[in-house]
Amino acid sequence: MIRPYLEWVRQLEDWWEAGKQLPRGRTAPSGFVSPPGTGPVVLLFAPHPDDETLTGALALRLMREAHVRVVNVAVTLGSRKERRAERLAELRDACASLGFQLELLAPDGLEAVTLQARQHEPARWRCMVEQVGDLLLRHEPVAIFCPHDSDGHATHIGTHYLVCDALQQLASRLDCRVIETEFWAPLADPNLMVEVAPELLADLLAATACHAGEVERNPYHLRLPAWMMDNVRRGAELLGGFGATAPPFLFAQLFRMRHWREGQWEAITDSQKVLPITVSSATLLSPATGRS
């Protein structure tokens, strides 16, 4: 029997085994640092340590191409209290590797950021919303990243509503892009596919490997390339229409981008749906929008 793909699949197995030998934990920094001073700020709300690297491709491109400061907002430090100090140390290494700044919403992270808390603990939820609102006003970000509202994990979904409730509380006091990410569950209606160059993907892999305790139990950093390849398959037809030809690049992440302005959501109608590396991500921050 002729099996032309068998050798290719075996090479994938070899690739996986080679990846398992790569170092975990802090390695050499990428060489990029967040721009200093009082320039534009992007806030990335990460439900857990590692979400800043797993979903951070566009934030990283914005830092490098639009020269914004990326501040990773650590919403929680995970549910296992005995691991939090270690996870915070890993998180600091990951952010330093990428050049992201880091802020904690609480010294030990927030607790139980979930829809259940939103529904049944209104006083505690209101306090957390006010914390996020204060942070938004202090930074006045040009863009915010947070998970989408069906991202398959209770804390991811809770983080989405925490950020959106803070925006509602601030109403017209803030004007920014809101870029929703996906990880545990795919976006049903992404409107942006962002190419991830091999060099940038390598930096994200190295930063994810800083979360050594997590990738030791589940080496998801090694699966990121395959996930990003599948995003190209999915994004090509979700954004271009079923039957559309896939773009020529290998790796991408998908997002849903909207504009929060004057206390309400606006669609961004004039932005391109596919952002290759030949186009600067700074174009995403241009002011023109259309009412949703």
- 248-261 tens-digit pLDDT: 999 999 999 999 99
Mean pLDDT on 232-256: 95
The pLDDT of residue 23 is: 82
pLDDT band at 79 (very low <50, low <70, confident <90, very high): confident
Average pLDDT, the chain: 92
Q: Percentage of the chain with pLDDT > 70?
A: 94
Domains of the chain: residue spans and CATH: 40-278 (3.40.50.10320)
**Residue 291 pLDDT > 60, yes or no?**
no
Per-residue pLDDT at 125 exceeds 70: yes
Rounded mean pLDDT, 9-32: 82
Per residue in 192-221, pLDDT (tens digit) is 999 999 999 999 999 999 999 999 999 999
By DSSP bridging, strand 69-74 and strand 41-46 are parallel
Question: Which element (helix H / strand E) includes 265?
Answer: strand 264-267
Backbone angles phi, psi at 102, to 5 degrees: -135, 135
Average pLDDT (94-107) is 94
Question: pLDDT by residue (tens digit) across 267-277?
Answer: 987 778 999 99
140 dihedral zone (left: phi>0; alpha: psi -120 to 50; beta): left
- What pLDDT sits at residue 25? 78
Residue pair 78/217 in contact by the 8 Å Cβ criterion: no
* Least confident interval from 24-28, 62-66, 90-94, 143-147: 24-28
Average the pLDDT over each of 19-28, 150-159, 182-191, 247-256 and give the range with the smallest value: 19-28
Determine the pLDDT at residue 106: 92
pLDDT band, very low/low/confident/very high, at 122 (cuts 50, 70, 90): very high
pLDDT exceeds 60 at position 289 = no
CA 268 to centroid of chain Cα atoms: 19
Average pLDDT over residues 140-148: 97
Number of alpha helices (DSSP H) and beta strands (DSSP E) in the chain: 10, 10
Q: Which helix (H) or strand (E) holds 71?
A: strand 69-74
Q: Is 99 helix (H, G, I), strand (E, B) or coil?
A: coil
- pLDDT category, 80, cuts 50, 70, 90? confident
Do 71 and 41 meet the contact criterion of CB atoms below 8 Å apart?
yes
Look at residue 183 and tell me whether its pLDDT is greater than 50: yes
